[in-house]
Amino acid sequence: MWLEKGIGEDKRWFYPISAFIIGTAIVVNQLWTMFYPHIQAHFNLETTASIVLAATFSGMGAMIIGPPIAGTILDKYGPKIPFIMSAISMVIGHSLIIKMLSMNDWSKAMYIWYLGSFMVGLGGGFYSGTYTATVGKWFPDKPGTAMGLAVAGTGSAVIIYSPLIGAYIKNHGFSGNIFFIFVIMSIVCLFGLAVPFWKTPPKDWLPAGMKPASKTSSAKAKGAAHDYTLQEAVKDRRFWLLYFCFIFSAFSNMFFLQNVSLIILEGLSKVMDTETILVSVIPGFLSASAIAGLIGRFSWGVITDRLGGPWKTLWIVYLLPAIVMALFYLGYHSVILIFITGLLFYFGSGGEPVIHYAIVPYVFGRKHLGKVMSVLNSFSVGLGIAFGPFVGAYIKDVTGGYFWALVLAVAIRLCGTAFALLGLKMSLQQEGADNTITKTV
């Protein structure tokens, strides 16, 4: 059956490597902020709020709606169907945006913009809900390293596309041709690379290094004792422990990441002119921070595997950015300190998605990974992404500055750190109990 055809065990590193390539090519939601001023100019708008609202629709598709659907289909039929759904959604979304740019009346065009952004986000959600769980199924022995490589692609699009699109707009103007390129990339990568070659391993498959040597030795000495269904996982207190870890980190991250340009502007406006900040400092900071985040994704995946599991690094990638976030605000009147603390923040927080995706199969097993992972992420990280930026901006508007928003962000992140340390304690206790049983046997 064609759903079961694909790359096998001997070439399983194809999965994270190709995920990196595909993610870099098609996950372009982070580029939307580049397009806002051009859309504003195209429709001669005085405000941007109605344009930026598209990010909410995109986020809903990408994190709340798309992944659970993809995960459910993945566990039953494999990755090919959700990859096809991803390609179709992205093609429809980008095509709608091309249509929107041919219109002149914003009162009508904005609904096409919202729907197009939602469909692009939904396609990204179908993709993320599929590739993460598939890589997790293929790499129970090296989840951190494999997931770090795979997830790094979704953050690399900004590095690759930003200068190319900027140069195109400078020479040819802002047009639907940009989104037509995204249509082509979606078709080529998903139908050419993902659909033909991706599959999930057999239900009871394990890599050679994890296969039991005898009936009394367990291949799952570390990690999940058995494969949890979603219903079983929800009844396990570790599910809710991870839920609060994820939602606290997502809210805190979005407080900072989606407002960082305005925070920099607030801090440096007293020591340099606004034009210099907008033209030189912020673009340079965003480019450098994207690279730091990419390095973080690779590094934390390897560190996680070296230290013996995601529980041992989760609390670190929560605590380090919390400390650095406070230092960022204390030094945000200095360009040098902004870059130093900012790069440290992005390096630390870059490990979050890697460890989040690695820890779910580590705790709950691989058989029902698509459904468990996507549901857990969607209603924790998804909510943080959807509402975190607004809450941070709202606090700033009410108080007149970002101080209390960042105080709250740091406090929430420290709460996530506490939950992660509790999880580490529980994990160590479980390992001790397992070792005792093994010695007895």
Q: Which two tokens stand for residue 327?
A: 């230092």
Do 121 and 255 reside in the same domain of the chain? no
Residue 202 lies in a domain: no
In percent, the amount of the chain with pLDDT more than 90 equals: 49
Domain count for the chain, please give it.
2
pLDDT in tens, 322-358: 999 999 999 999 999 999 999 999 999 989 988 998 8
Q: What is the mean pLDDT of the chain?
A: 87
Within this chain, do residues 33 and 172 fall inside the same structural domain, yes or no?
yes
Q: Please check whether residues 391 and 280 belong to one and the same domain.
A: yes
Token output for 344: 């440290």
Residue 156 CB-half CA count within 13 A = 19
Nearest CA-CA partner of 31 in 117, 102, 95, 96: 117
Closest alpha carbon to 354 in 161, 138, 136? 136
Res. 220 pLDDT band, cuts 50 70 90: very low
Q: What is the structure's pLDDT at 12?
A: 95
Residue 52's contacts (CB-CB under 8 Å, 6 or more residues apart) are 36
Which one, of 284, 94, 285, lies nearest residue 190 by Cα? 94
Residues 258, 132 within the same domain: no
Does residue 253 sit in the same domain as residue 338?
yes
Residue 106 lies in a domain: yes
Domain boundary (197, 221, 245) is at 197
In a domain, 214, yes or no: no
Q: What is the pLDDT of residues 116-173, one digit of tens each?
A: 999 999 999 999 999 999 998 999 888 888 988 998 888 788 788 888 888 888 788 8
Q: Which pLDDT belongs to residue 117?
A: 94
| pLDDT tens by residue, 173-185 | 889 999 999 999 9
Q: Where are the beta strands (DSSP E) in 20-167?
A: none
Lowest mean pLDDT: which of 77-81, 161-165, 406-410?
A: 161-165
| Distance (Å, whole) CA 432 – CA 341 | 38
> Residue 331: inside a domain, yes or no?
yes
Average pLDDT of span 367-387: 83
Domain that holds residue 85: 7-197
Q: For the domain that residue 323 is a member of, what is the CATH number?
A: 1.20.1250.20
pLDDT of residue 219 exceeding 50, the answer is: no
Residue at 89 is within a domain: yes
Pick from 94-103, 257-266, 320-329: least confident: 257-266
Residue 224 lies in a domain: no
Domain presence at residue 225: no
Asked, for residue 16, whether it belongs to a domain, the answer is yes
Same domain, residue pair 188 and 237: no
Instruction: Kindly state whether residues 176 and 243 are assigned to the same domain.
Output: no
288 and 379 assigned to the same domain = yes
Predicted pLDDT at 31: 80
Q: Please, what is the end-to-end C-alpha distance for the chain in angstroms? A: 43
Are residues 120 and 71 part of one domain?
yes
Tell me if the pTM is above 0.85: no
What is the arithmetic mean of pLDDT over 291-312?
A: 89
Could you give the CA distance from residue 299 to residue 149 in angstroms, rounded to a whole number? 9
Task: Judge if 236 and 189 occupy the same domain.
Answer: no
Q: Are residues 185 and 138 in the same domain?
A: yes
Cβ distance 27 to 127 under 8 Å?
yes
Same-domain status, 192 and 237? no
Q: Is the pLDDT of residue 215 over 50?
A: no
Instruction: For residues 339 and 335, give the distance between their C-alpha atoms in angstroms, rounded to a whole number.
Output: 6
Q: Between residues 253 and 91, which one has the greater pLDDT?
A: 91
DSSP 247-264: HHHHHHHHHHHTTHHHHH
